[in-house]
Amino acid sequence: IESVNIHDSIKIGSPDREKYIENYIETLENLGKCGINMVCYNFMPVFDWTRTDLAKMRADGSTVLAYDQSVVDAIDPQTFFNQTTSSSNGFAMPGWEPERLAHVKELFEAYKDVSEEKLFNNLVYFLKAIQPTCEKYGIKMAIHPDDPAWPVFNLPRIITSKEKILKLMKAVDAPFNGLTFCAGSFGTNPNNDLPGIIRALPGRIHFAHVRNLHHYAPGVFEEAAHLSSDGSFDLYEIVKALYDINFDGPIRPDHGRMIWGEVAMPGYGLYDRALGASYITGLWEAIEKNDKRK
């Protein structure tokens, strides 16, 4: 299931976090009883994935999600939230629920003393608290990396690189604790070696989001078609790395362009994601057929 959101009290480490952890455990129990064995989640403060343009026009006539750090630097969080939600084609976007973000200023105040170290420790505390329930029901927790992979509005980000995800895997060294490998999120930082991250985590990648971005400058990028030739990532090498570590979890094409006149939730158009799924499937088949080990 993608996603079961984590209450801000858990991330902040507020005195009432135990209540929300118990609620989360109850949700996990209900999911486990229904046979659901994987939960994708993130631990990003306040905002989920962040983009500054939800419909940037590309040369091919499609529109895509885009990010420009200079826009974030020149705006306050409340205005940014208002602009983002008003540009969503009337859809409630995942991670940007109005009922949760209606009081952005209060949320920022609550996070003012939360450092990167404290946020990480609160994540470890949460995972250890839910570990018995996850192991009882065979549920894998697959943390989604922060997007973009650096602090936004001075909020800490802790799942941004190979070193940081390995730190989490070591802190809670149990099979249930794993990663949603998201190429587009880790890839917001062009210094991240995407195949290298995959190869460093055999057995700990539970879920994969495969997509492409096009980088223009540090902190400036836009989402692209899945084809390697359309963006900055080599999708073949990403899929091959997943194949080489014997990844056997679900893969999805993640975000896509808005094409062919479709009006949908920004980033989640049906048509381009269907093209992406076909492309990823084709890459996997080609890699499998050329596997000299078989």
Q: Which of 77-81, 94-98, 152-156 has the lowest mean pLDDT?
A: 94-98
Burial of 164 by CB count in 10 Å (0-12 exposed, 13-18 middle, 19+ buried)? middle
State yes or no: is 134 an active-site residue: no
| Residue 209 contacts residue 181 (beta carbons within 8 Å) | yes
pLDDT in tens, 168-198: 999 999 999 999 999 999 999 999 999 999 9
Catalytic one of 182, 206, 226, 272: 182
130 backbone dihedrals φ, ψ, rounded to 5°: -95, -5
Residue 123, CA distances (Å) to 97, 100, 159, 204 in order: 22, 20, 11, 17
The stretch 96-117 carries a mean pLDDT of 83
Catalytic one of 48, 137, 206, 209: 209
Catalytic one of 125, 243, 268, 271: 268
Q: Is the peptide bond before 266 cis (omega within 30 degrees of 0)?
A: no
Q: Which residues, listed in sequence order, are joined to residue 237 by a DSSP beta bridge?
A: none
> What torsion, rounded to 10 degrees, do the Cα atoms 272, 1, 181, 161 define?
120
State yes or no: is 255 an active-site residue: yes
State yes or no: is 206 an active-site residue: no
Q: Please report the pLDDT score of residue 95 as a whole number.
A: 65
Q: CB count, 10 Å around CB of 182? A: 27
Domains assigned to the chain: 8-289 (3.20.20.150)
State yes or no: is 268 an active-site residue: yes
Q: Which of 84-88, 238-242, 287-291 has the lowest mean pLDDT?
A: 84-88
Higher pLDDT, 69 or 89: 69
State yes or no: is 182 an active-site residue: yes
Catalytic one of 146, 254, 272, 279: 254
Higher pLDDT, 221 or 104: 221
Catalytic one of 111, 134, 144, 279: 144
